[in-house]
Amino acid sequence: MTETTMPAEWAPHLRTWMAFPTPNPTFGDGPDLVRARRAWSAVANTIVRYEPLTMLVDPGDRAAAGALLDPRVEVAQVPLDDAWLRDSGPTFVHDGTGPAAVDWRFNGWGAQSWARWDQDAAVAVAVAGLTGTPVVDSPLTQEGGAFHVDGAGTVLLTETVQLDPDRNPGWTRQRVEAEVHARLGTSTAIWLPRGLTADYGEFGTRGHVDIVAAFSSSGAVLVHTQPDPGHPDHAVSQEVTAILRERGLDVVPLLAPERHEVDGELTDHSYVNHYVANGVVVACAFDDPRDEAARAVLERVYPGRTVVPVDARDIFAFGGGVHCITQQQPVFP
């Protein structure tokens, strides 16, 4: 290797990193926190059957984590504000001389009023320290769920995230692209205009791409597809599909779950928000009639991997999905 590269998610992993839910404005400190901890632990206990996994745990939550996690899950005590490690953790790349950990600026998804991030802004450096990986600082404020790479030079971005004035005031597309390409080793950026509608609610990210579209090892791009013309995401998925096909990409629809409301509130439940690990695809399940069809699509576009559905309803209830709570550490030569 002679230049910076970020491998695709389906490239071999050294391990997966996650963070254990801790009391905060997102989870509270009662029954909702218990639900979140069980949901996060179910994902961790699935992944650790296929590759090593380290769970970051706030020092005060060590006993609670031990009661729920598979004994094979390694635990590292790190102060935490929240538990979305895809967003607050480092992005592992190879900088041409060896592994490096990109530390994007993190400010609570655009300094949202409910968010706390003093501890989480330091998580990427903490994980890099635990792995012995040199840190590369970036001036760009974004989260790991805000981009997706194919490992061959292309990156997906969303205008409402990277160009968000509460994240990167004054930044232009050109400046964002230059910084992203420098840190990830990409050369082509495909901008999507927006994310799913419910992602702009109180606990949303304002447009993360990892619930909208994702590259796959088959070469196709998976797109969250809402077939109901009366649903606001119908137009979103049509627009995203058109943009990707105009760029010559093969688009494979992942139909949205049939049920798209919980307690009268619109959800952003998405099968696109899966996680690819060594030998496995951890899929989002919603006890929905379309779960099985989504599983079949994932089996087709990730040949040779076992697809394991995990109930993601209690993860999405707090603002994200399986992909949002995981972060891969690739194997580098």
Catalytic positions, written as ranges: 324
Output the six-digit token pair for 110: 């655009």
Residue written as token pair 């050109």: 174
Kindly tell me the burial class for residue 118, based on how many C-beta atoms sit within 10 Å of its own C-beta (0-12, 13-18, 19 or more). Answer: exposed
CA dihedral for 82, 55, 126, 101, sign (positive or negative): negative
Output the six-digit token pair for 168: 């990167």
Using alpha carbons, list the distances in angstroms from residue 295 to 280, 304, 314: 12, 14, 19
The Cα 13–Cα 278 span in angstroms is 6
Output the six-digit token pair for 226: 């809402």
Identity of the amino acid at 200:
Y
- Among 32, 200, 58, 180, which Cα is nearest to 116's? 58
